[in-house]
Amino acid sequence: MRQPTPARRAIEVAPIAGALGAEITGVDLAAELADEVVAEIRRAWLDHLVVFFRDQRLQPEEFLAFARRLGDPVEYPFVKGIEGYPEIIAVSKLPHETVNFGGIWHSDTVYLERPPMATMLIAREVPPHGGDTEWSNMYAAYEALSPGLRRLLEGLQAVNSSALADVSKTREDRIRDHGYDDAQQYLAVHPVVRTHPETGRKALYVNPAHTAAFTDMTDDESRGLLEYLFRHSTRPEFTCRFRWRVGSTALWDNRCTMHNPINDYHGYTRTMHRISLAGDVPR
């Protein structure tokens, strides 16, 4: 552990896009951060939904220690953690693979009763080009809907599944290499419009990877409206895009964002380490 960050050291927060996303400088995440610094980071995260840090040389224990300053790390249900750190999983695509892990717009593990409030990712190896990640602001997506559609959606619940075909395919390589032999499938019902427990703002809470149908409706009846919401939520004006370097670290809010790792680097390795932070039951 490095020397403590001075309590009054100012960090700088610079937005990277109009909709969401900011880069934070002036902080070493491996240091023993003062409470005031952690509070500043948390405020920036709530304000900008996803925040980024460059050139962080975090060992696994330091990565986990920083995560614990923000919440409670939890294990991922399908892939085992790296050796000695069950809460940290490797998110990799190897040169011979053509499908990337989580390569579809989604919010993490919405098929759980208590999805994670946040995810942290640090880049360990990146391709010479490509491999960016996009995020979408689900507050903005909700607020841009017509009043009539907002009224309709606020009365709906949706079924979220871990077994939808597109996202299951993106996990196959990692489950084969590092997965649990007895991994079960998960289903959870959550509101289509979620109220953020910390900000009080409303956000759309459906995603292409996990949301199967509205409750009390068939898949066919649900499909048209869900597909509209998926397209609407990823309009360019609601998104930001981040280019990774080794040591780049991201922290995002799963309660009001989706993200999409872009699969445009065939023939190269991209390896990240990921931590999820425990959340609550969506309301």
Domain residue limits, the chain? 12-277
Q: Provide the whole-model pTM.
A: 0.92
Q: Which of 171, 190, 259, 270 is catalytic?
A: 259
Q: Which of 48, 106, 196, 255 is catalytic?
A: 106
Q: Clarify whether 274 is annotated catalytic.
A: yes
Closest CA to 254 of 99, 156, 140, 135: 135
Q: Which of 171, 210, 270, 274 is catalytic?
A: 274
Name which CATH class applies to 12-277.
alpha beta
- Sorting pLDDT into bands at 50, 70 and 90, what band is 163? confident
Q: Which of 108, 174, 196, 270 is catalytic?
A: 108
Residue range 227-279, pLDDT digits in tens = 999 999 999 999 999 999 999 999 999 999 999 999 999 999 999 999 999 99
Q: Clarify whether 106 is annotated catalytic.
A: yes
Q: What percent of the chain has pLDDT over 90?
A: 86
**CA–CA distance from 157 to each of 137, 147, 153, 211, 222 (Å)?**
20, 18, 8, 10, 11
Predicted local confidence at residue 257, as pLDDT = 98
Q: Clarify whether 108 is annotated catalytic.
A: yes
- Lowest mean pLDDT: which of 60-74, 125-139, 169-183, 262-276? 169-183
Predicted local confidence at residue 114, as pLDDT = 98
CA distance 168 to 174: 11
- Sorting pLDDT into bands at 50, 70 and 90, what band is 172? low
Which of the two residues, 127 and 164, has the higher pLDDT score?
Answer: 127
